[in-house]
């Protein structure tokens, strides 16, 4: 089974590329983040024509997550159970389902904005709720993984220049501790470093030629439990999909399983 995660930065803007990529990559399940559409506006019909079912948790604007599968899509849960609210709303940042016997979450962790901002406190609280929500599945016997845009670079090796990010979100000790807490709950990063090239970033800003200069961050992650990690045969970041006109600022992260 081929499973991938991709922050598409608007599924409407990225739809032609998304459909072409699904066909060319042979992906069985795709976890999507930042759909930037409503559930009603989600392109379920276009995906169905390619043989994919879909489930979406989205209300428009900047958030929204989805699962797209051609190997089944059952036991769908919208949202993060016990998750915190921001400005009185539980944002659509999580969705889970079972695809071909594998339990998967697609998550879009809050950005945090600035260390002194309320959104940063919200981000840390969101991580706490995520850890509690996934604990049972993480310890269970079936393959289970949480995929998505975590908005945290796990180590200094996961950013192009640690000095540039000093004092900023995505690299603070508290954020990295929150990520480590997921590992303590029984999940591990199943995409190793290095892959087929040094510094396998997954996100590059649109500005200042960040992608051509490889000034990126590795913030799109696949965290799986032991049965999931044991089944991993290969993994890669599809940098080619970050190239060209109309690309997302994130690249897909792909994992192949022997299930």
Binding residues for Mg(2+): 7, 34, 149, 151, 249-250
CA dist 18 and 60 (Å) reads 19
Token duo for residue 23: 């066909």
CA dist 233 and 259 (Å) reads 10
Residues tagged in the binding site annotation: 7, 34, 149, 151, 249-250
Rg (CA), the chain: 17
In the annotation, is 149 catalytic? Answer: yes
In the annotation, is 156 catalytic? Answer: no
Catalytic residue among 28, 52, 137, 149: 149
Catalytic residue among 108, 120, 160, 223: 108
CA dist 251 and 243 (Å) reads 9
Provide DSSP, the chain.
Answer: -EEEEEE-S-HHHHHHHHHHHHHHHT-SEEEEE---SBTTTS-HHHHHHTT-EEEEE-BSTT--EEEEESS--EEEEES-TTPPPBTTB--S-EEEEEETTEEEEEEE-----STTSHHHHHHHHHHHHHHHHHHHHHTSSS-EEEEEE-S--SSGGGBS-GGGGTTSTTS-HHHHHHHHHHHHTT-EE-S-SS-SSSS---EE-SSTTTTTTT-EE--EEEEE-HHHHHHEEEEEE-GGGGSSTT--SB--EEEEE--
In the annotation, is 108 catalytic? Answer: yes
The residues carrying an active-site annotation are: 108, 149, 250
């Amino acid at each position: 089974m081929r499973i991938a995660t991709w922050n598409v930065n608007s599924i409407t803007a990225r739809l032609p590329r998304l459909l072409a990529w699904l066909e060319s990559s042979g992906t069985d399940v795709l976890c999507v983040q930042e759909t930037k559409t409503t559930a009603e506006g989600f392109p379920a019909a276009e995906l169905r024509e390619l043989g994919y079912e879909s489930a979406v948790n989205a209300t428009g604007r900047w958030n929204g997550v989805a699962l797209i599968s051609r190997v089944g899509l059952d036991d769908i849960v919208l949202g993060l159970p016990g998750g915190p609210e921001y400005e009185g709303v539980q944002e659509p940042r999580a969705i889970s389902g079972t695809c071909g016997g594998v339990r998967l979450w697609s998550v879009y962790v809050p950005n945090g904005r600035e260390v002194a901002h309320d959104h940063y406190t919200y981000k840390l609280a969101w991580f706490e709720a995520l850890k509690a929500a996934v604990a049972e599945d993480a310890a269970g016997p079936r393959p289970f993984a949480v995929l998505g845009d975590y908005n945290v670079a796990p180590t200094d090796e996961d950013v192009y220049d640690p000095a540039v990010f000093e004092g900023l979100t995505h690299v603070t000790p508290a954020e990295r501790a929150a990520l480590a807490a997921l590992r303590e709950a029984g999940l591990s990063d199943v995409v190793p470093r290095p892959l087929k090239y040094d510094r396998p970033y997954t996100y590059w800003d649109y500005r200042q030629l960040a992608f051509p200069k490889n000034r990126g961050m590795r913030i799109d992650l696949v965290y799986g439990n032991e049965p999931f990690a044991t089944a991993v045969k290969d993994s890669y970041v599809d940098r080619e999909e970050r190239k060209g006109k109309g690309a997302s600022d994130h690249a897909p992260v792909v994992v192949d399983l022997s299930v």
